[in-house]
Amino acid sequence: MSGETEHSIEARIADADEFEPPASFVEQANVTDPEIYDDFESEWPECWEQAADLLDWDTEYDTVLDDSNPPFFEWFTGGELNASYNALDRHLDERGDEAAIEWIGEPTDEANRTYTYRELHREVNEFAAALRDLGVGEDDVVTMYMPMVPELPVAMLACARIGAPHSVVFAGFSADALATRMNSADSEYLVTCDGYYRRGDALEHKAKADDGLGGVDHDVTGVVVDRLGDAYDHPMRDGGNGGATGSDHDYDALVDDHAGAEVDPVSRDAEDMLFLMYTSGTTGQPKGVKHTTGGYLSWVTWTSQAVLDVKPEDTYWCSADIGWITGHSYIVYGPLSLGTTTVMYEGTPDYPEKDRMWDIVEEYETTQLYTAPTAIRAFMKWGERYPAEHDLSSLRLLGTVGEPINPRAWKWYYEHVGDESCPVVDTWWQTETGGMMITTLPGVKNMKPGAAGPPLPGMDVNVVDAVGDEVDAGEAGYLTVDKPWPGMLRTLYQNDERYVQEYWAEYSDTDSDDPDDWTYFPEDGAKIDDDGYITVLGRVDDVINVSGHRLGTMEIESAIVGVEGVAEAAVVGGNHPVKGEAVHAYVITEDDAEGGSELRGKIIEGVEDAIGPIARPESVVFTPELPKTRSGKIMRRLLEDIANGDDLGNTSTLRNPGIVEDIQAAVDAGG
Ligand code: WT7
């Protein structure tokens, strides 16, 4: 620490608003040439051949970008490849005996599991053969409702091998959420799990899965992974089960029955679907985001290399859940495609102690850590002594994703986890973008805490006003993307019309065939500085971001009005010191129902049943009316002000101005 006192380091970091990439990092970084920005701009779209070239193709593509039918852009057309081949087979010669996955269970007295590339390849082949025998054919959607067990990436890659798209549903989602997604995708296969560990408890998952199947309108063949062993004697379906009839098969037995089986990877067209991922939007119905084999895999491989600086010899750790897009792109497909070692941790960061993350970094000598601002804010709250107790010197790069990171949390991460020697990449992207879009290239650009960074090379991102004109530096506007990119979603599953409506209609001339007339709208607010660094301000639609998880206010509202005794509900996001945002519900009861703790309990239960515990309201306020404009629209902004304890601005445009004070009084009185 070259003579500087702890105190002066703190002060220097707190005062700085720009940080240079550490020289020790730059020396070895995958990307270091600043010309890359100009080169990609002048060579667009051919610049993206660089991404495609990171993959092995069965048939070379003939066109980089087919933009003849916007906004249905196609990438690397004519090319054929297989994602499981790219993630596994091609590494066998050189890295067959190296670890592909280091899996760490939550209980500390249990053995961790290492899968070498050869072992992972073997199990993926065996399970692919088993899936085929169960009847899974090319293009059949296989749903996975699984926690962080290694069989989840095995199942995803087995599907990819036989050309069956997967649709992973986050294990923390409710039974209803599973049913909605399986019905929407007509998915006739489900891979699930008996349960998993959370904060020391064995959670039973299979009963919830069966509950969900009760709401599925067609037959479903199930496969069940036995994670808990004797801790949970889980039910297996044999024939009838409410809505979905069908039988379950034991995962281990299937894999044993197919021991040594080899399945040729199916050559998939670049534009063939690799997977579906459901995400929340403005309306109640979740959106089935479609990602393709060639464009998506190129994108996550290139960004893993350029931004996360992944190298084959690394032990790379992304602490997301594979049930979200971050885990798909940056635990499974990107890292494995580069032949590195990817770490998977089952449990929570505070079990058995608040240093579990640092314990894992030290033991596995992880070289990267990619996590969420909500986690960093929790680490900060727990205190710097937890990381300080461990040797974290193996770390070379830190990353964050999912929501804006406040400069204080950024600096804490940089100092107490990175020891000022790791660049921090704040990566902005979405389920729909497939991979990173806005962030610094860590070997090239300075970092500015609070700003994600400039758009990646080859990206045409702007901050505009309501009519699409660029706003001045420092002013708030809307984020737009003016050129397509390989990792972009191709459509919403079986709903091209909603795809155009949700993402393009706002800023495009939707009658035009000219690709330049089309602009993608991510529904985020943002501002840009004089250096082109973008600060993302958050969603401008009715989506709440709780701990980096996207929740639609409509989905939560419809769960609440489904509770007996509730007449109407409005849900807003309020600021939360750790979660970023939290759910606040304002509820009108039916005439004969009483708004009290009993109904509040039922509302919370109703939301957890319909969506999952992540959507649990932080507060439920009963009110005789909701603040409405003269045209009858709920004024959510005022409810947000109440949730945040902010001054209530102008209420004069309301039809019922007095109600705001009444609600405020109810909140002050404790709901
Ligand atoms: C929304 C997308 C990206 C994978 C995880 C979330 C917000 C994401 C950042 C960031 C500010 C961010 C945006 C975006 N978001 N990353 N670095 N800074 N905001 O994927 O569930 O599709 O959510 O998360 O609002 O639109 P998602």
Residues 6+ apart with CB under 8 A from 617: 556, 571, 583, 584, 585, 603, 604, 607
Nearest CA to ligand 1 atom 5: 402
User: Tokens 């660094």 correspond to what residue?
Assistant: 533
Determine the distance from the C-alpha atom of residue 525 to the mean position of all C-alpha atoms in its chain, rounded to a whole number. Answer: 19
Higher pLDDT, 661 or 207: 207
Nearest CA to ligand 1 atom 6: 402
Q: 430 CB less than 6 Å from ligand 1?
A: yes
What proportion of the chain, given as a percentage, has pLDDT over 70? 98
Higher pLDDT, 656 or 411: 411
Nearest CA to ligand 1 atom 17: 428
What integer pLDDT is reported at residue 654 of this predicted model?
80
Work out whether the CA dihedral 641, 642, 647, 650 comes out positive or negative.
Answer: positive
> pLDDT band at 169, cuts 50/70/90?
very high
Report the chain's C-alpha Rg in angstroms: 25
What is the whole-number distance in angstroms between the Cα of residue 563 and the centre of ligand 1?
31
Nearest CA to ligand 1 atom 23: 430
What integer pLDDT is reported at residue 248 of this predicted model?
96
What integer pLDDT is reported at residue 6 of this predicted model?
62
What integer pLDDT is reported at residue 5 of this predicted model?
65
What integer pLDDT is reported at residue 242 of this predicted model?
55
Q: Residue 546: is its pLDDT beyond 60?
A: yes
Q: Residue 306: is its pLDDT beyond 50?
A: yes
What integer pLDDT is reported at residue 16 of this predicted model?
87
> pLDDT band at 324, cuts 50/70/90?
very high
Average pLDDT over residues 449-471: 97
**Token pair of 312, please?**
């084959």
User: Tokens 């970008």 correspond to what residue?
Assistant: 65
User: Which of 224, 237, 168, 232 minimizes the C-alpha distance to 204?
Assistant: 232
Looking at every residue in the chain, the average pLDDT score rounds to 94
What integer pLDDT is reported at residue 452 of this predicted model?
98
Q: 522 CB less than 6 Å from ligand 1?
A: yes
What integer pLDDT is reported at residue 2 of this predicted model?
45
What integer pLDDT is reported at residue 662 of this predicted model?
87
What integer pLDDT is reported at residue 175 of this predicted model?
95
- What's the N-to-C CA distance of the chain in angstroms? 52
Q: What is the pLDDT of residues 588-603, one digit of tens each?
A: 998 878 888 999 999 9
Q: Residue 529: is its pLDDT beyond 80?
A: yes
Q: 321 CB less than 6 Å from ligand 1?
A: no
CA–CA gap between residue 75 and residue 73 (Å, rounded): 7
pTM: 0.93
ipTM over 0.90: yes
> pLDDT band at 635, cuts 50/70/90?
confident
What integer pLDDT is reported at residue 1 of this predicted model?
41
Q: Residue 634: is its pLDDT beyond 90?
A: no
Higher pLDDT, 668 or 304: 304
What is the whole-number distance in angstroms between the Cα of residue 401 and the centre of ligand 1?
7
Q: What is the pLDDT of residues 400-456, one digit of tens each?
A: 999 999 999 999 999 999 999 999 999 999 999 999 999 999 999 999 999 999 999
> pLDDT band at 334, cuts 50/70/90?
very high
What is the whole-number distance in angstroms between the Cα of residue 167 and the centre of ligand 1?
20
Q: Residue 567: is its pLDDT beyond 90?
A: no
Residues 6+ apart with CB under 8 A from 469: none
Q: What is the pLDDT of residues 220-254, one digit of tens each?
A: 999 999 999 999 999 999 875 556 789 999 999 99
| Under 8 Å between Cβ of 206 and 237 | no
Length of the chain: 671
Residue type, 11: A
